[in-house]
Amino acid sequence: MTDTRVEETPQTETTAPEAGAAPVPAFDAQRRATELAILDALRAVVDPEIGMNVVELALIKQIILGKDETEIKMILTTPFCPYAGSMIQQVKEQAESVVEHDVKITLLAERWDPRDAGLMW
């Protein structure tokens, strides 16, 4: 499951919505399509020790799509993973091939649970 956060400017009392403006939909199909395209691209990033990709291993925890920058929050299978640098770089490159702008990778301190591996998005 991915959490997609939309960064918007909060409305204040002085900024009223324009008359006749369409309401913001609860589900944005274009954003979801981009998110799924990123996940598909990330399937090419394989953990060499385990032989499964980062999506199957449930290492990708959140994708935050932005206009000028996208952030991917992920974890590693072990805190001292010898392939961490390579995998992070591959995740960044694969995601940037989809969104065509800068992608920031954030490592979370969350521990990986092998029971999550194999769960599909």
pLDDT in tens, 52-95: 999 999 999 999 999 899 999 999 999 889 999 999 999 999 99
Q: Bridge-partner residues for 63, per DSSP?
A: 72
Q: Which domains does the chain have, with CATH numbers?
A: 29-112 (3.30.300.130)
Given a contact cutoff of 8 angstroms between Cβ atoms, the answer to whether 121 and 1 are in contact is yes
**pTM, two decimal places:** 0.76
Separation of CA 14 from chain center: 34
DSSP of 49-113: TTTEETTTTT-EEEEE--SSEEEEEE--SSTT-TTHHHHHHHHHHHHHHHH-SEEEEEE--PPP-
Integer Cα distance of 64 and 53 in angstroms = 20
Share of the chain above pLDDT 90, in %: 64
* Opening angle at CA 54, ends 48 and 58, nearest 5: 130
